[in-house]
Amino acid sequence: MNRTHTNTKPVAPLKSFAQRQFEPVMWPENNELTGAAIKFIGPSLGKSPRKPAIERREPDYQPVSSSKHTDKVRYYNAEKGFGKIGEAGLFFHVSAVVDGNASFIREGVTVAYEESVDRRGRPCAVDVQLVEVSR
């Protein structure tokens, strides 16, 4: 006896994990995509809102410790953010400038600094502090 099922529905092929992972999941209330459907988008590439930086017209001078050396900036490359201090040409990086005065550093300004050694063992200036801006 040959039995045929007349009300058989076609069976959908099984989906792989990767296919199920990105199926859109909708919130019933407002038809928004959620979860796995949007996780592949990744983090936002836009900038988060920040308070605008205060443009200072004058540097913020702080008292200088007597243990610091004082000399003039002989060379400074603002694009690359490094320079040389004094006749010896002691290297310093803009990240070593304290008190938020990095924008006032240029050739000819007087700075106070402490001598140190960088991670490669070369002498460098740290805690660079603006003493006087020549006009």
* φ and ψ of 59, to 5 deg: -70, 155
68-99: pLDDT as tens digits: 999 999 999 999 999 999 999 999 999 999 88
- Residue 107, C-beta contacts closer than 8 angstroms, at least 6 positions apart: 73, 74, 75, 76, 83
Residue 63: predicted pLDDT: 81
Per-residue pLDDT band for 42 (boundaries 50, 70, 90) equals: low
Q: What domains are there in the chain, each with its CATH number? A: 15-44 (no CATH), 69-132 (2.40.50.140)
- pLDDT exceeds cutoff 90 at 34: no
More reliable by pLDDT, 48 or 75: 75
Per-residue pLDDT band for 39 (boundaries 50, 70, 90) equals: low
Average pLDDT, the chain: 78
Residue 6: predicted pLDDT: 62
Q: Which of 85, 65, 88, 61 is nearest to 75 (CA)?
A: 85
Give the whole-angstrom CA distance, residue 70 versus residue 67.
10
Q: Are strands 33-34 and 25-26 parallel, antiparallel or unpaired?
A: antiparallel
More reliable by pLDDT, 28 or 54: 54
Residue 74: predicted pLDDT: 96
In DSSP terms, 116 is beta-bridged to 124
108-129: pLDDT as tens digits: 999 999 999 999 999 999 999 9
